[in-house]
Amino acid sequence: MMKILVIVMIVVGILCLIGTIAFVIYFKRIGKSLFEMQATLDCDEFTITEKGSYGIWFRVSRGTFAYPRLNVVVNEVETGREIPLHRTTIKVERSSFSYYARQHFWFEAEPGNYLMTIQRDTNLENVPLIDRLFKVDEPPLDRCSVFIAKRINSRL
Protein backbone atom coordinates (compact mmCIF):
# COMPACT_ATOMS: atom_id res chain seq x y z
CA MET A 1 0.00 0.00 0.00
CA MET A 2 2.84 2.43 0.86
CA LYS A 3 4.63 1.63 -2.43
CA ILE A 4 1.52 2.57 -4.40
CA LEU A 5 1.17 5.82 -2.44
CA VAL A 6 4.83 6.72 -3.08
CA ILE A 7 4.50 5.96 -6.80
CA VAL A 8 1.32 8.05 -7.06
CA MET A 9 2.99 10.96 -5.24
CA ILE A 10 6.01 10.81 -7.56
CA VAL A 11 3.79 10.74 -10.66
CA VAL A 12 1.71 13.68 -9.38
CA GLY A 13 4.91 15.61 -8.58
CA ILE A 14 6.28 15.03 -12.07
CA LEU A 15 2.98 16.12 -13.65
CA CYS A 16 2.94 19.28 -11.49
CA LEU A 17 6.51 20.07 -12.54
CA ILE A 18 5.69 19.59 -16.24
CA GLY A 19 2.54 21.70 -15.86
CA THR A 20 4.44 24.51 -14.15
CA ILE A 21 7.12 24.58 -16.85
CA ALA A 22 4.47 24.65 -19.60
CA PHE A 23 2.60 27.45 -17.76
CA VAL A 24 5.76 29.59 -17.45
CA ILE A 25 6.64 29.09 -21.13
CA TYR A 26 3.07 30.00 -22.15
CA PHE A 27 3.09 33.25 -20.15
CA LYS A 28 6.56 34.17 -21.39
CA ARG A 29 5.38 33.77 -24.98
CA ILE A 30 2.17 35.78 -24.46
CA GLY A 31 3.73 38.39 -22.18
CA LYS A 32 6.30 39.60 -24.72
CA SER A 33 6.07 43.26 -25.55
CA LEU A 34 4.59 44.10 -28.92
CA PHE A 35 6.16 47.56 -29.08
CA GLU A 36 8.53 49.51 -26.84
CA MET A 37 9.82 53.07 -26.87
CA GLN A 38 11.83 55.26 -24.53
CA ALA A 39 9.56 57.55 -22.51
CA THR A 40 10.39 60.75 -24.35
CA LEU A 41 7.81 63.42 -25.02
CA ASP A 42 7.44 62.20 -28.58
CA CYS A 43 5.36 59.87 -30.75
CA ASP A 44 6.08 56.64 -32.57
CA GLU A 45 4.19 54.23 -34.85
CA PHE A 46 3.47 50.56 -34.12
CA THR A 47 1.50 47.74 -35.75
CA ILE A 48 -1.05 45.38 -34.21
CA THR A 49 -1.55 42.12 -36.10
CA GLU A 50 -4.44 40.56 -34.19
CA LYS A 51 -7.62 41.90 -32.60
CA GLY A 52 -7.58 41.99 -28.82
CA SER A 53 -6.99 43.82 -25.60
CA TYR A 54 -3.58 45.44 -25.08
CA GLY A 55 -1.94 46.98 -22.03
CA ILE A 56 0.31 50.03 -21.93
CA TRP A 57 3.08 49.49 -19.38
CA PHE A 58 5.62 51.85 -17.82
CA ARG A 59 9.00 50.28 -17.04
CA VAL A 60 11.51 51.92 -14.68
CA SER A 61 14.88 50.63 -13.56
CA ARG A 62 15.38 49.45 -9.99
CA GLY A 63 16.32 52.29 -7.68
CA THR A 64 13.65 54.55 -9.19
CA PHE A 65 11.00 55.15 -6.55
CA ALA A 66 8.17 56.57 -8.62
CA TYR A 67 6.68 56.20 -12.06
CA PRO A 68 6.50 59.47 -14.00
CA ARG A 69 3.01 60.89 -14.52
CA LEU A 70 2.55 60.52 -18.26
CA ASN A 71 -0.42 60.90 -20.53
CA VAL A 72 -0.51 58.46 -23.44
CA VAL A 73 -2.62 58.97 -26.57
CA VAL A 74 -3.10 56.25 -29.21
CA ASN A 75 -4.46 57.13 -32.67
CA GLU A 76 -5.15 55.10 -35.81
CA VAL A 77 -2.68 56.15 -38.51
CA GLU A 78 -5.11 55.91 -41.45
CA THR A 79 -8.09 57.76 -39.96
CA GLY A 80 -6.50 59.73 -37.11
CA ARG A 81 -9.24 58.46 -34.79
CA GLU A 82 -8.23 58.44 -31.12
CA ILE A 83 -8.47 55.03 -29.43
CA PRO A 84 -10.10 55.28 -25.99
CA LEU A 85 -7.69 54.28 -23.22
CA HIS A 86 -8.91 52.91 -19.91
CA ARG A 87 -7.02 53.24 -16.62
CA THR A 88 -6.07 49.93 -15.04
CA THR A 89 -8.18 49.52 -11.90
CA ILE A 90 -6.10 46.81 -10.23
CA LYS A 91 -2.31 47.09 -10.00
CA VAL A 92 -0.81 44.70 -12.52
CA GLU A 93 2.95 44.59 -12.04
CA ARG A 94 6.01 42.71 -13.23
CA SER A 95 9.53 42.88 -11.97
CA SER A 96 12.93 41.39 -12.62
CA PHE A 97 16.43 41.92 -11.32
CA SER A 98 16.83 45.14 -13.28
CA TYR A 99 13.37 46.76 -13.61
CA TYR A 100 9.84 47.25 -12.32
CA ALA A 101 6.92 47.48 -14.72
CA ARG A 102 3.31 48.48 -14.08
CA GLN A 103 0.35 48.44 -16.45
CA HIS A 104 -1.27 51.90 -16.38
CA PHE A 105 -3.69 51.84 -19.32
CA TRP A 106 -5.37 49.31 -21.58
CA PHE A 107 -7.26 49.52 -24.87
CA GLU A 108 -9.10 47.36 -27.40
CA ALA A 109 -7.65 47.32 -30.90
CA GLU A 110 -8.23 45.87 -34.35
CA PRO A 111 -5.34 44.91 -36.64
CA GLY A 112 -3.69 47.98 -38.14
CA ASN A 113 -1.13 50.75 -37.70
CA TYR A 114 -1.29 53.03 -34.67
CA LEU A 115 0.53 56.11 -33.42
CA MET A 116 1.38 56.44 -29.72
CA THR A 117 2.07 59.91 -28.32
CA ILE A 118 3.55 60.47 -24.85
CA GLN A 119 3.02 63.72 -22.94
CA ARG A 120 3.51 64.88 -19.34
CA ASP A 121 0.27 64.49 -17.36
CA THR A 122 -0.73 67.81 -15.81
CA ASN A 123 -4.05 66.51 -14.45
CA LEU A 124 -3.92 66.42 -10.64
CA GLU A 125 -7.10 64.35 -10.26
CA ASN A 126 -5.34 60.98 -9.86
CA VAL A 127 -2.32 62.27 -7.96
CA PRO A 128 -1.81 60.83 -4.47
CA LEU A 129 -2.65 63.21 -1.62
CA ILE A 130 0.96 63.33 -0.40
CA ASP A 131 2.08 64.66 -3.80
CA ARG A 132 -0.58 67.37 -3.68
CA LEU A 133 0.42 68.48 -0.17
CA PHE A 134 4.15 68.64 -0.84
CA LYS A 135 5.73 69.87 -4.05
CA VAL A 136 7.36 66.83 -5.60
CA ASP A 137 9.52 67.17 -8.70
CA GLU A 138 8.61 64.96 -11.61
CA PRO A 139 10.94 61.99 -12.02
CA PRO A 140 13.23 62.24 -15.07
CA LEU A 141 12.22 60.27 -18.13
CA ASP A 142 15.68 58.91 -18.94
CA ARG A 143 15.17 55.81 -16.76
CA CYS A 144 11.67 55.02 -18.01
CA SER A 145 10.30 53.24 -21.06
CA VAL A 146 6.77 52.57 -22.26
CA PHE A 147 5.77 49.29 -23.86
CA ILE A 148 2.64 47.60 -25.16
CA ALA A 149 1.83 43.95 -24.51
CA LYS A 150 -1.21 41.79 -25.17
CA ARG A 151 -3.28 41.44 -22.02
CA ILE A 152 -3.45 37.93 -20.63
CA ASN A 153 -6.53 38.50 -18.49
CA SER A 154 -8.77 41.11 -20.10
CA ARG A 155 -10.88 41.54 -16.96
CA LEU A 156 -8.10 43.20 -14.90
What are 50-103's pLDDT values in tens digits? 888 888 888 877 766 566 667 788 888 888 888 888 887 666 666 666 777 777
How many H-runs (helices) and E-runs (strands) does the chain carry?
2, 9
What are 10-59's pLDDT values in tens digits? 999 999 999 888 777 765 654 555 555 555 566 778 888 888 888 888 88
Is the pTM value of this prediction over 0.75? Answer: no
Report the Cα–Cα distance between both ends of the chain, in Å, rounded. Answer: 46
CATH class of residue range 33-123+131-150: mainly beta
Burial of 60 (0-12, 13-18, 19+ CB in 10 A): buried
Distance between CA atoms of 119 and 82, rounded to whole angstroms? 15
Q: Hey, is 125 helix, strand or coil?
A: coil
